[in-house]
Structure 1
Amino acid sequence: MFIDAEAVLALVADDNDPIERIKNAGAAIAEIQSLTAELGRFRREEVEELKAAGMSQNAIARQAGLTSARMSQVMNSAPAPERAFFGVKVDPVIVAVAEKREGGKPKPGPVVSIDDMKAYDDLRNLVEDLGLTSNYEVVKPPGMIRLNRNGLVVICGPRHSDTIAEVLASDDNLGFEKDDSGWFLIDKEQKITYRSPEDSDEPGDIAYFGRLPRPDRKGYFLYIAGIHAAGAAGVVHYLSHELGSLYREVRHRRFSMLIQCRYDPDTHAIISSERITPVYKHEG
């Protein structure tokens, strides 16, 4: 179950070209560093679970064959357990944001709304605090997105992408709907309709947030979409305060929930965010 160091060294050296050997060595070092970080995160998570169950850190150290000082070092140096919320051994996190359109047409000038850019910037800062990097890409009309990728976060309403609308249909608990008054969110389980405060000229919005299945059935992607653009920034604001507790609740399972936020009407900075539905955990 452990790495065969001699086999790795032999594989790295198995090339007559010295430049290729240098490249092979670099690739192996990067892979080992990634694995080391992930194992450290895993070990820290297990220690925190035992502590939550009532076991002292010193007792855990003794049973694991570590000194108290070494255990403290392990806890202080390892990545936070909630980093795995974005995937295991994922770096970079890929954030795909829908191009802004007016009247169904691409908007000239900046292709992404200010609120969506704020959501991306805040999300980038969050994943950087977790020791990860992020890549940004724009989802252009007609909204075709490569969903079968690890570490993917999509910020794109169903009105911008039929692909997303089809995946959202798999959620039996929450979803978007539209009538003559516009788009809204619905809790199918509790039969509650949620319309955006922004539609009543109030500085706030409501957003869908969940982990949805990839079309290839080999994993999931994180999905964020407000009724209006401010909702996405509200979800990231919520994550910046609640990521640890949310990760402990859902781990790697599928889930969905609705988040409501309030923002400053002048700057659109998010003032508050809160969950307004249960965290629905999905099968599969």
Structure 2
Amino acid sequence: MHEEMQRVAQVREPVERAKAASTLIGDYQGRLIELSRVRREAIEEAAASGMTQSEIATRLGVSRGRIGQLAAQGPPPERAFFGTDLMTISLGGKYEAGKAEDENRSEVVVREDLQNFDRLRKLLATLKLDANYEVIPPSGMVNLNRDNHVVVCGPRLSPIIAQVLEGDDYLRFEKDRAWHLVDLKTEQRFRSPLDEDGTAGDFGYLARLPRLDGRGTFLYAAGIHAIGANGVVHFLENNLPELYKEVRTRRFSTLISCRYDPKTLEVLESKRVTPLYRHEG
């Protein structure tokens, strides 16, 4: 840390020195937020193991009242489920409908996915994380080799995503007369109510999957239909603390069912319909 500050202080041009200092301040602030999260989680774990606040305070060399303050400071532990810095949410893009191939066609995102970004952004804000989004081009090419990344894009729109999903030994997207999801362990097939009888419901896939470079993971959500991903986001909004306690930042996959208001597309209910399949033993 001292070397970093020395390097900034030695920048000769004043404006460039100020820019370098601002960048380093932002980096340190991000580290402080994450460290406060780690401390809060550690105190909660110690309390859950049976230690009293007085015992924890003695071990840390602070007052009992200070322990109560520390336990309330910083973002909640489940922040780590997403990341530690600015989040990028990649949304699947399609070409604008109704135009010939030789025309200039814009890349568009369906309304449901824009709603997903808005709700994820609000959820992340409660965890002291900021977010922006990018549109995956219709070619489906997306850079998966980065930290703090969430992908909301079905395998139909991205061959790279489809390739990664092939590595899940538990759950799979498949297609016969219609796209559906399959639990490979129980051989149960989950077909969208939209395709079966037009009922306002769907299934979504939620997972933490490996990056192509093998140096990390990314979060992934997709539905049989676009609304299925909304069900996944609804599930995260209502179950994140419990989900984090189960899987932490390890790789997993599971399926989520949802039902929604067909007029507003507002998800009314979401629930897990398969086990939390752990990919790391």
Which SS does the other structure have where 2:156 is aligned? helix
Q: Please report how far the alpha carbon of residue 210 of structure 1 lies from its aligned counterpart in structure 2 after TM superposition.
A: 0.1
- 2:85, 2:130 within 8 Å by CA — same for their partners in 1? yes
- Matched with 2:173 is 176
Q: Please report how far the alpha carbon of residue 23 of structure 1 lies from its aligned counterpart in structure 2 after TM superposition.
A: 2.0
- Matched with 1:12 is 8
**Counterpart AA for 2:126:** D
- Matched with 1:79 is 75
- 1:100, 1:106 within 8 Å by CA — same for their partners in 2? no
- Matched with 2:156 is 159
Runs of 4+ aligned structure 1 residues displaced above 6 Å come to: 105-110
- 1:98, 1:112 within 8 Å by CA — same for their partners in 2? yes
- Matched with 1:43 is 39
TM-score norm. by structure 2 comes to: 0.93
Distance 1:143 1:19 in 2: 40
- 1:174, 1:186 within 8 Å by CA — same for their partners in 2? yes
Q: Please report how far the alpha carbon of residue 226 of structure 1 lies from its aligned counterpart in structure 2 after TM superposition.
A: 0.1
Q: Please report how far the alpha carbon of residue 161 of structure 1 lies from its aligned counterpart in structure 2 after TM superposition.
A: 0.8
- Matched with 2:85 is 91
Q: Which of 223, 231, 235 is the aligned partner of 2:232?
A: 235
**Cα deviation digits, residues 70-100 of structure 1 (max 9, x gap):** 222212221111111112xx32111111124
**Counterpart AA for 2:25:** I
Q: Please report how far the alpha carbon of residue 110 of structure 1 lies from its aligned counterpart in structure 2 after TM superposition.
A: 7.9
Q: Please report how far the alpha carbon of residue 9 of structure 1 lies from its aligned counterpart in structure 2 after TM superposition.
A: 3.2
Which SS does the other structure have where 2:185 is aligned? coil
**Counterpart AA for 1:220:** T
- Matched with 2:192 is 196
**Counterpart AA for 1:161:** S
- Matched with 2:27 is 31
- 2:208, 2:220 within 8 Å by CA — same for their partners in 1? yes
Which SS does the other structure have where 1:32 is aligned? helix
State how 1:212-227 maps to structure 2 within 5 Å: 212-227=209-224
Q: Please report how far the alpha carbon of residue 109 of structure 1 lies from its aligned counterpart in structure 2 after TM superposition.
A: 7.5
Distance 1:144 1:191 in 2: 31
Q: Please report how far the alpha carbon of residue 57 of structure 1 lies from its aligned counterpart in structure 2 after TM superposition.
A: 2.5
Which piece of structure 1 moves more, 6-15 or 213-222?
A: 6-15
- 1:172, 1:188 within 8 Å by CA — same for their partners in 2? yes
Which SS does the other structure have where 1:159 is aligned? coil
Which SS does the other structure have where 2:213 is aligned? coil
**Counterpart AA for 2:259:** R
State how 1:52-131 maps to structure 2 within 5 Å: 52-87=48-83, 90-100=84-94, 111-131=108-128
Distance 1:78 1:40 in 2: 5
Cα distance, 1:102–1:14 mapped onto 2, change above 3 Å: closer
Cα distance, 1:117–1:111 mapped onto 2, change above 3 Å: same
Q: Please report how far the alpha carbon of residue 8 of structure 1 lies from its aligned counterpart in structure 2 after TM superposition.
A: 3.7
- 2:172, 2:181 within 8 Å by CA — same for their partners in 1? yes
Which piece of structure 1 moves more, 105-114 or 169-178?
A: 105-114
Distance 1:139 1:6 in 2: 40
**Counterpart AA for 1:91:** D
- 1:93, 1:151 within 8 Å by CA — same for their partners in 2? yes
User: Identical aligned pairs, as a percentage?
Assistant: 48
Q: Please report how far the alpha carbon of residue 131 of structure 1 lies from its aligned counterpart in structure 2 after TM superposition.
A: 0.6
Which SS does the other structure have where 2:46 is aligned? helix
Q: Does 1:186 align with 2:182?
A: yes
Cα distance, 1:106–1:153 mapped onto 2, change above 3 Å: farther
- 1:214, 1:221 within 8 Å by CA — same for their partners in 2? yes
Distance 1:71 1:25 in 2: 33
Q: Does 1:21 align with 2:17?
A: yes
**Counterpart AA for 1:46:** A
Structure 1: segments with no counterpart, 5+ residues: none
**Counterpart AA for 1:169:** E
Distance 2:200 2:94 in 1: 20
Which piece of structure 1 moves more, 272-281 or 113-122?
A: 113-122
